[in-house]
Amino acid sequence: MPRLSDLMPKTELDDTVRFFSYLYERWQDEREYEDFNEYVESMRKKLGDKVTDVKMTKKPFRVTFVLSGQKCYVQVKRGSVEWGTMGTSAPTPAPSVN
């Protein structure tokens, strides 16, 4: 099974993880005032036309999408961002993007 890092160029993956982290932090501060659907739309635009079936959940804070026929995810779990493909036994911790 391919890894997300095999399906998406490193710079694009790093940028996606950074943007997702930003959305998570913002949601923590603004969830009482902002519409979560706007976060979904922002992530959909960020991922672009090469992905399909973009979905997000609040708890866990996760985005799933299909890229090159493979279901992938990026999520915040236990305070850190992880990413991978669905069905893999161990998610890959995202590289530090501070």
Which structure tokens are listed for 74? 């990026």
Q: What is the CA radius of gyration of the chain?
A: 13
pLDDT at 78 > cutoff 90: no
> How far apart (Å, rounded) are the C-alpha atoms in residues 80 and 82?
7
Give the tens place of pLDDT for each residue, 25-65: 999 999 999 999 999 999 999 999 999 999 999 999 999 99
CA angle 28, 17, 49 (to 5 degrees): 110
Model-wide pTM > 0.85 = no
User: Would you kindly state where each structural domain of the chain is located, as residue ranges?
Assistant: 4-93
Q: What is the pLDDT of residue 28?
A: 92
Which structure tokens are listed for 47? 């991922």
- CA distance readout (Å), 81 to 3, 24, 32, 49: 16, 10, 23, 23
Q: What is the pLDDT of residue 5?
A: 83
